[in-house]
Structure 1
Amino acid sequence: MDFIGRFEEIAGALKALAGTEKMGKIIVYTPPEKKDEPETCGYMEEGIIRRYYAGKDCHIYSNYPESSREISFHKEKEDRIIKNCLRKDRGTGKNQKKKKISRKKDNWKKRKEKSRLPEGYTLRPAVQADASAMASLYSQGFELYPTPLHMENYILETMHSNVLYFLVEKYGKIVSLASAEMDPKNRNAEITDCLTIPSERGKGHMKELIRALEKELSERSFLISYTLCRASAPGINAAFSSLGYAFTGRLVNNCRIGNGFEDMNIWCRML
């Protein structure tokens, strides 16, 4: 929900609701001018989404009514993944300043480039006729997920709202897919629902999907794209890092994916 008053006016209600519903974590998205208010109420900042509010940063604060939820059980592994991503990024010899200066030029260049997919593979926007196969693929790929992607009706419904789905096919069979949840008011979009079947991983499909989504978002005048991706998954973090996304925080035990709650890394990029 959206709230425009002082945070202390709603902090008590959030705590009470968390107790009633047995919620282990409260998450608050805060604009820059309000970012100090959650901290005074016992919240801690976990990350930032750059330019989230139509060009202004979003500060993400969390509070843990359930103390065990605050513990990151795989912190060392997740830190190593980020360290490796950033090391590889530095190894390209392109610093962030140069990337920002040349980004507009690079975007135009990318629009002219053909897909890097091998012969037999096709990248395209998903259509209604794909919904059943997409739902089946998602149900196989995720035991648990924050949204009901295993339901064909849900995918069809989101296709008609502000969600873009793109997919990669191999000789007509879907092997990889991702989406962008668009916020037209604030001109941001979250790259999410990323999945590649096991036999096709490591072939660069996800990077191509992300590029395609970015291109479409840029043409629609969105300002930024960002993602909250599984902190323990090296491949997806490496994909976003290699495409020029900046790591801006980690949300501990943030959502249910796979076998339970997982930490999520935040990656952002200006379009």
Structure 2
Amino acid sequence: MGLKALWDVDLWNDRLVAYLPDLSAQEQEKVKEKIKNAPAGKFTVYTLENHQDTLLDLGFQHEADLPGFFEGKTAKIFSLFLKEERNKSASATKNKDVLNIVKNDKAVPSQSWKGILFSHLEESDLDQLTSLYKRVFDVYPTNIFDQNYIKASMNNNYTFVTAKDQGKVIGAASAMKTGYQSAEITDCAVDPDYRGRNILHGLILELETRLVKERIFNAFSITRAVSVGMNMTVKRLDYTYKGTLVNNCKISSGYEDMNIWVKKLKN
């Protein structure tokens, strides 16, 4: 039995995302139908390498790789821009500058975590968590400002962890399990008053430990391409850059390019 196919219609970010490891003849016809109907500005397909020619022939372009995504196998990420303006990066030059800064970084981060407790999110902390997210983000690709959304996510395929200082939630992150024995490190935020102490570093390590216990050994992060801090954090944690997704989702002022970083947690 092959790997399952998944489709995600993301109205907020005006995109259609399909996870099609086997890309059967039936799925190919569905892809063609979606292209014809143009239901979104961007259409992204995750598939295995042996299907890449099929997507290239349909006009898709290769944006990134995700080693380990499909139960240890590499996902090739292809996108078709159904709205021409969606294929024009507004930050291409800055993206390159950020990557150069990050790749040339040789610093070893200090761990200024004295008094900070990293732990699993408790429902009693949902109010503090959503307040933190509202303070850090003006706009976000998912509804992390809603306690009910986070509670539902916790009961589904997300693991949330928090960083606390004397009971106050000052940082948070989550791992979204893909269903393919891999997970995305996401929803990362740190109270501005605590920046510079590598709190996010500790949060991601806590998530990685929990993922390994669940026998999920492939992790990845999709980071804002213009953010030195977030890209630097995952690079220092031994994640490897694997490509950039152009105008992928809404964060802050509009659509932003996102970098793919990957890490094998255990051989």
Report how far residue 131 of structure 1 moved: 1.4
String of CA shifts for 1:25-80, please: whole Å, max 9, x gaps: 11111122212211110000000111110111001101111111111111111111
CA contact (8 A) 2:113 2:197 kept: no
CA contact (8 A) 1:178 1:191 kept: yes
Task: Decide which of 249, 258, 261 is 1:264's aligned counterpart.
Answer: 258
- Aligned residue for 1:209? 203
Mapped to 2, the partners of 1:212 and 1:74 lie a distance apart of: 32
- Aligned residue for 2:31? 11
CA contact (8 A) 1:8 1:41 kept: no
Mapped to 1, the partners of 2:69 and 2:93 lie a distance apart of: 29
Question: Structure 1 residue runs of 4+, over 6 Å off?
Answer: none
Mapped to 1, the partners of 2:196 and 2:93 lie a distance apart of: 24
| 137-146 or 169-178, which deviates more | 137-146
| 137-146 or 257-266, which deviates more | 137-146
- Aligned residue for 1:171? 166
In terms of fraction of residues, the more strand-rich structure is: 2
Task: Decide which of 137, 140, 144 is 1:142's aligned counterpart.
Answer: 137
Give the alignment of 1:91-106 within 5 angstroms: none
Report how far residue 135 of structure 1 moved: 1.6
Mapped to 2, the partners of 1:180 and 1:117 lie a distance apart of: 23
- Aligned residue for 1:51? 68
Paired residue secondary structure (2:35): helix
String of CA shifts for 1:145-182, please: whole Å, max 9, x gaps: 12111110011111111211111112211111100001
Mapped to 1, the partners of 2:84 and 2:173 lie a distance apart of: 33
- Aligned residue for 1:129? 124
In terms of fraction of residues, the more helix-rich structure is: 1
CA contact (8 A) 2:163 2:171 kept: yes
- Aligned residue for 2:237? 243
Task: Decide which of 239, 246, 252 is 1:252's aligned counterpart.
Answer: 246
Mapped to 2, the partners of 1:235 and 1:43 lie a distance apart of: 31
CA contact (8 A) 2:113 2:199 kept: no
Paired residue secondary structure (1:88): coil
| 245-254 or 162-171, which deviates more | 162-171
CA contact (8 A) 2:117 2:165 kept: yes
CA contact (8 A) 1:32 1:56 kept: no
- Aligned residue identity for 1:199: D
CA RMSD of aligned residues (A): 1.8
Task: Decide which of 27, 31, 36 is 2:53's aligned counterpart.
Answer: 36
Paired residue secondary structure (1:167): strand
Q: Does residue 232 in structure 1 map to residue 252 in structure 2? A: no
Report how far residue 117 of structure 1 moved: 4.2
String of CA shifts for 1:68-114, please: whole Å, max 9, x gaps: 1111111111111111211125x78xxxxxxxxxxxxxxxxxxxxxx
- Aligned residue for 2:182? 188
Mapped to 1, the partners of 2:152 and 2:113 lie a distance apart of: 32
- Aligned residue identity for 1:15: I
- Aligned residue identity for 2:254: G
Report how far residue 241 of structure 1 moved: 0.4
Identity over aligned pairs, percent:
30
- Aligned residue for 1:65? 82
CA contact (8 A) 2:172 2:187 kept: yes
The alignment's TM-score, normalised by the length of structure 1, stands at 0.85
Mapped to 2, the partners of 1:128 and 1:34 lie a distance apart of: 43
Gaps of 5+ in 2: 1-6, 8-18
- Aligned residue for 2:194? 200
Gaps of 5+ in 1: 93-114
Mapped to 1, the partners of 2:216 and 2:112 lie a distance apart of: 26
CA contact (8 A) 1:49 1:266 kept: yes
String of CA shifts for 1:213-234, please: whole Å, max 9, x gaps: 1111112111200010101110
The alignment's TM-score, normalised by the length of structure 2, stands at 0.86
